[in-house]
Amino acid sequence: MTQVVQDSPLARPGPARRTRRIFEFKSDIPASWRIALGVLVWVLFFGLWQLAVWSGWMTEILLPGPGKVLGALYTLFAENGFLGDVAISVGRVMLSFALACAVAVPLGILMGSFRVVEAFFSPFVSAWRYLPAPSFIPLLLMWFGAGDAQKLALLFIGVIWFLITLIADHTKSVPQDLIRTSVTLGGSRWQVLRTVIVPAALPNIVVAMRQMLAVSWTYLVIAEITAADAGIGAMMMRAKRFLHVDQIMAGILVIGALGLLFDFLLRALHRAAFQYLEDYS
Amino acid sequence: MQTDTILTVQNVGKTFPTRGGAVEALRDVSFSVTRNELCVLLGPSGCGKSTLLNIVAGLEAPSTGHLSLEGQPIHGPARERGMVFQSYTSFPWLTVLQNVEYGMKLNGVPKGERRERALHYIELVHLGKFRDAYPKTLSGGMKQRVAIARTLANAPEILLMDEPYGALDAETRWHMQEMLLEIVRTTHTTILLVTHDIQEAIFLADRIVFLSAHPGQLKTILDLGFKTGRQIRSKEELVQLEGYPECEREIMRLMRGEASPDDTIH
């Protein structure tokens, strides 16, 4: 018996077995490895970037090194009042997203709950989903000018249709037996909606919001690059005019950092609000 | 003997329209349930027993026939006909106590009375220690106990149960069945329970309403005479009882559709 096991490929000793286990499908790796690998990819990225600068592949005006970009970032905040631009951008995302949620959450829940509402709105919403929001920019510019209204409208159009669809789908997947339980306990239609459907769908609705908020940031940049006198995108377009590539890159960095921050905040909110959930992932 | 009928099912039929034409799930089913009795709906798969229970609950409408509870015709779901499902239906965002209070809250039972009743029924299903726990920390059997306590606390006239122990492992199922009998003895609840498990049916039932399949029709009603006058508390007691093997064999034969209508127990 022992003989057989030792001869089998399963009993292969030491390192070979270990690599095998690391590349096992979906098998877990130690937490320290996960952190180390996560840091490593960034170290590699910045290292290669710096190497590209040193090699003189492009002039430093077009490709400034990581150090220079960080310097530009500091200057932007400390001397150029960049914080104001950031605040304006964040404000635009928040306001347009709040408006989108104010429409999408109730409408999505109603569409997911009642077939009539779904039959009425679904063909309309589905069609709009396939119209790229940026294609409305020329129209929006003519209707609203280059001001805030145009940007809010673009951000709104950019997320609303997907948000409605996702929320409707999550509402639809509320288990039928939960609804039937409430109904056989004497729940009225309004009571079922308020005490079963909304709380049951809410965790997934917050996940949908998190996903669509990330999309909202994408449209923000598009809106601000097209026409704006303030905001992160506007700063980047100003920097382009003066060939301040370091500032453009600093802008990209800030947008990325903000996106991550909001994603993190919504994750934390989800975890705090829905502690009762079976498995949070 | 004075029979006190609480639920009457009269000539109930149900036809579902499908793409391939109408499918007849139930045909001309009539039976009644007596107050304080535990009546089991049993039959092979496809006999429409769950459909029939849904019709009694008011979750589906019958195509023909009519139903009444305490003489009042049944239209749609209501508090009087509380239902326990096979799937776990504890609301995950509510604690055990809040789950059990839920139905009473819907029906406007004042807070003090609500709390008192909830605690009583939580004790009855032996979940006292878990009153403030969320369902995610409970086992499947405990979740079903929450569902039973929640429905009973809501004071239904009849408790409907749709294969309530179908998703549980064998050992848990025994405990749950024994607990249900204990509850019936202390609370005198009227129960209509659907199962496809023969032993469960014999163990729990005062009477078994047996349906045959395709379409679901009333085949026979079994009175389980060998159990009368006995207080059976455990599965072991049941299987040792005189008359049990015969009864089980009889039902097995019915399940296979081999028995002729005249050699069944009326």
Please indicate whether, in this complex, the C-beta atoms of A185 and B92 are within 8 angstroms of each other: no
Same domain (yes/no): B105, B164: no
pLDDT digits (tens, 9 = 90+) for B6-22: 999 999 999 999 888 88
Q: How confident is the model at residue B229 (pLDDT cuts 50, 70, 90)?
A: confident
Q: How many CA atoms lie within 13 A of A225 on its CB side?
A: 12
Please indicate whether, in this complex, the C-beta atoms of A200 and B107 are within 8 angstroms of each other: no
Same domain (yes/no): B65, B134: no
Local structure of A11: helix, strand or coil: helix
Please say whether the beta carbons of B56 and B67 come within 8 A.
Answer: yes
Of the candidates A178, A184, A196, the beta carbon closest to that of B83 is on A184
Query: If you search the block for the tokens 């789950």, which residue do you land on?
Result: B99
Same domain (yes/no): B106, B180: no
pLDDT digits (tens, 9 = 90+) for B68-104: 999 999 999 999 999 999 999 999 999 999 999 999 9
CA A87, CA B55: separation in Å to the nearest integer? 59
Please say whether the beta carbons of B207 and B193 come within 8 A.
Answer: no
- Cβ neighbourhood burial of B24 (10 Å; 0-12, 13-18, 19+): middle
Supply the DSSP symbol for A240: H
Of the candidates B58, B59, B82, the beta carbon closest to that of A185 is on B82
% of chain A with per-residue pLDDT over 90: 64
pLDDT at B56 over 70: yes
CA A197, CA A172: separation in Å to the nearest integer? 9
Query: If you search the block for the tokens 């096992």, which residue do you land on?
Result: A24
- Given the DSSP bridges, would you call strands B72-73 and B21-34 parallel, antiparallel or unpaired? unpaired
In a domain, B34, yes or no: yes
Please say whether the beta carbons of B233 and B248 come within 8 A.
Answer: no
pLDDT at position B264 is 47
Same domain (yes/no): B164, B252: yes
Please indicate whether, in this complex, the C-beta atoms of B82 and A184 are within 8 angstroms of each other: yes
Same domain (yes/no): B109, B164: no
Domain CATH for B12: 3.40.50.300
Nearest alpha-carbon partner for A269 in A215, A202, A217, A219 = A202
Q: How confident is the model at residue A29 (pLDDT cuts 50, 70, 90)?
A: confident
Please indicate whether, in this complex, the C-beta atoms of B92 and A277 are within 8 angstroms of each other: yes
Q: Tell me the CATH class for A70-273.
A: mainly alpha
Q: B77: Cβ–Cβ under 8 A, 6 or more apart, which residues? A: A180, A183, A184, A186, B57, B58, B59
Alpha-helix residue ranges (DSSP H) falling in B66-217: 96-106, 111-124, 140-153, 170-187, 198-204
pLDDT at A11 over 70: no
Local structure of B10: helix, strand or coil: strand
What is the total count of domains within chain B?
A: 2
pLDDT at position A20 is 67
Same domain (yes/no): B71, B101: no
Taking residues A57-63, what's their average pLDDT? 85
Q: How confident is the model at residue B214 (pLDDT cuts 50, 70, 90)?
A: confident
Q: Give residue B60's domain range.
A: 5-80+156-263
Please say whether the beta carbons of B49 and B42 come within 8 A.
Answer: yes
Q: Which residues of A touch B58 (CB under 8 A)?
A: 184
Verdict on whether the full-model pTM lies above 0.90: no
Residues of chain A contacting B, Cβ within 8 Å: 175, 177-178, 180-188, 191, 195-196, 199-200, 274-278
pLDDT digits (tens, 9 = 90+) for A220-242: 988 888 877 889 998 999 988 88
In a domain, B85, yes or no: no
Q: Which residues of A touch B87 (CB under 8 A)?
A: 175, 177
pLDDT at position B29 is 95
Of the candidates A184, A188, A276, the beta carbon closest to that of B92 is on A276
Please indicate whether, in this complex, the C-beta atoms of A177 and B135 are within 8 angstroms of each other: no
Same domain (yes/no): B151, B167: no
Q: Which residues of B touch A181 (CB under 8 A)?
A: 83, 85, 89, 147
Please indicate whether, in this complex, the C-beta atoms of A184 and B81 are within 8 angstroms of each other: yes
Same domain (yes/no): B210, B237: yes
| Mutation for testing the A interface, residue in B89, B107, B146 having most A CBs under 10 Å | B89
Q: Which residues of A touch B78 (CB under 8 A)?
A: 184, 186
